């Protein structure tokens, strides 16, 4: 697991209500900067990260009324990083050498991976914690 502290933090957070589908994460067709900036401009995520991993991946809380979903599952964290981009705060360690972005949802990794594959999405599912899966575009 590349983000153990993020996974532990996310596992302790309750899921938010369902309202706004965030299916753009499944297309993986934009930059991490554009993905995060658009969510901030729409007030769907907080402007400051709630956590910055050592590798500079920034994690953001959804705003209380966002109600974002992906694959019908509540999104309770959004994350991203793009090298040499002032939108993202630097971590204490070596930053990733490539961009990535995604969301954390409640659900089994295998089931989410199958759903992503069936939808034709370029995103991948990665286990983050018990019953927590990260849907990642990189």
pLDDT digits (tens, 9 = 90+) for 56-108: 999 999 999 898 999 889 998 999 999 999 999 999 999 999 999 999 999 99
Position 97 scores a pLDDT of 96
As for how many domains the chain has, the answer is 1
Report pTM: 0.83
What pLDDT, in 10s, does the model give residues 17-44? 334 567 777 889 999 999 999 999 999 9
Q: Which residues contact 74 (CB under 8 A, 6 or more apart)?
A: 15, 16, 17, 18, 67, 68, 105, 106
CB 49 within 8 A of CB 41: no
Question: Which range marks the domain in which residue 27 is found?
Answer: 4-137
**Helix, coil or strand: residue 75:** strand
């Amino acid at each position: 697991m590349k983000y153990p502290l993020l996974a532990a933090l996310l596992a302790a957070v309750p899921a938010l209500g369902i309202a706004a589908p965030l299916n753009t994460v499944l297309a993986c067709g934009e930059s991490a900067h554009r993905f995060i900036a658009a969510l901030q401009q729409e007030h769907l995520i907080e402007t400051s990260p709630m956590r910055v991993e050592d590798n500079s991946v920034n994690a953001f809380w959804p705003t209380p009324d966002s109600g974002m979903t992906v694959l019908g599952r509540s999104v309770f964290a959004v994350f991203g990083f793009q090298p040499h981009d002032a939108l993202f705060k630097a971590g204490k360690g070596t930053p990733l050498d490539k961009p990535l972005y995604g969301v954390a949802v409640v659900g089994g990794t295998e089931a989410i991976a199958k759903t992503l594959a069936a939808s034709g999405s370029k995103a991948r599912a990665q286990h983050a914690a018990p019953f927590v899966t990260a849907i990642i575009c990189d």
